[in-house]
A and B are shown apart, each in its own frame.
Chain A
Amino acid sequence: MLAPLYAAIATSAFSILFGLGWIDASVASCGAALGWAVYEWFPALHAEAFSVFFAALAAGLFSEIASYFRRKPATVYMIASIIPLVPGGGMYYTMLSTLEGNTAKSVDTGIATLMTAFSIAIGLAVANVIGRIAFGNRYRPLRSQK
């Protein structure tokens, strides 16, 4: 039950490494918690890739909305909020089994890793399209302007 909270804290640590200020870091962490909650609680539709896709879609839509209100490019929030989802561990296990000479396992984890990365990228691309339709690549207008 605490997993989304852990994801959020891990993400804020990374957001600070990535140079975000504390407001943006907290916003991105909320996106990460949302993404992880979707990933954990979404019924896995036959494959891990589907859960990851919907998690990335949720985090991406959240990032688009945050980008509109905070007047910053959505990719800033996207990169930070997909940190718990990205298949870093998969990349590591793939290369480790390659080094160990376990080719079958390395192909197995390698393909799973690529599928996860693809699902995240597609989820973000779909979120981007929805964001473009909704906000038209513009940010919330400044109040001081007419």
Chain B
Amino acid sequence: MHTEELLLFAADTARLMLESGGETYRAEECAISIITSQGGAEAECFATATGLMLSFVSDDGKTHTVVRRIKKRIMNLEKVSRIDRMVRDLKTDQIGFEEAESELDRIERLPERSGKTRIAAGAFGAAFFALLFRADVREAFAAFFIGAFVALVVRLSARLRMPDFIANLAGGALAAFCTLLLVQVGLLYRADVTIIGVIMLLVPGVAITNAIRDTIAGDFVAGLARGAEAFLAAAAISAGTGGAFALWQILQPFFGKGA
């Protein structure tokens, strides 16, 4: 048994699972079942949304421990399902340890969606969310284009390695400002449905639900951390839109007629 490699492999599997949006208990179970399937004893894993600790006792009686920090969290469900597959195969001895290591490496380097795909998905997502909130066709079209624009800005800020807070702030401000501009030039009658349709691209609805799912599963620390993340994101978005509304009211006199 290569204890050091086993420890690092199990910790990296759990880390990737958490980074890709898997549940906390699933990440812990993955690490523990990798270690027990390779003959390690007393495997314990403690994971939160921002880091994990893993330790086990090898057959020479020594305790091995490692800590991993989790800095980025990008939802990627394909990675979650491939890690699940890999751990199951390792547990049932369908693949060996080396094969599992190279599979983890492949999963880690799975390409993200291209910029064009992200922008198109943002446009359609915003338009159909607006329709779901009873927008008419014109408002859905507005949401389509503003959604594409916001997706582009979020993509750019990710590329410049800005924190999520800034991306959400800018996205919220742009969504509100563009919509108010369209109302001003008379293309739209009301702003709220279009804004909320576009904002759905950014809002942390899945994050708050996952926070509560973690809490129900008994991972209170992870649940609190994810909940804090969700509240911060919502605060950033509403600060952005609130700022745009305020700026709009200052600019209003310069446009002549009131909207």
Contacts and interface: CB of A to CB of B under 8 A. Distances in A.
A71 B88 CA distance: 11
A51 interface: no
B77 A10 contact: no
B229 to A, nearest CB: 11
A19 B112 CA distance: 7
B168 to A, nearest CB: 10
B128 A92 contact: no
Interface residues of A, number: 50
Interface in B105-127: 110, 112-113, 117-118, 120-122, 124-125
A2 B128 CA distance: 11
A94 to B, nearest CB: 7
Interface of A is mostly: helix
Nearest to A78: B213
Contacts of A95: 231, 234-235, 237-239
Interface in B52-84: 75-81, 84
Given A10-B124, A79-B206, A96-B242, A89 B85 contact: no
A75 B23 contact: yes
A65 interface: no
Contact of B77 (A7, A20, A91): A20
A89 B241 CA distance: 13
Contact of B75 (A10, A79, A114): A79
B40 interface: no
B80 to A, nearest CB: 6
Contact of A73 (B26, B132, B209): B26
Given A19-B113, A121-B209, A99 B238 contact: yes
Interface of B is mostly: helix
A111 interface: no
Nearest to B21: A79
B14 to A, nearest CB: 15
Nearest to A121: B212
Contacts of A36: 132
B39 to A, nearest CB: 23
A134 interface: no
Nearest to A124: B213
A115 B121 CA distance: 29
B77 A6 contact: no
Interface string A83-94: 110111111101
A70 to B, nearest CB: 9
A7 B125 CA distance: 9
A7 B117 CA distance: 19
A16 B206 contact: no
A130 B76 CA distance: 26
A73 B239 CA distance: 36
A42 interface: no
Contacts of B131: 2, 6
Contacts of A105: none
B128 A91 contact: no
A72 B77 CA distance: 10
Contacts of A113: 208
B216 A88 contact: no
A14 B81 CA distance: 17
A122 B231 CA distance: 20
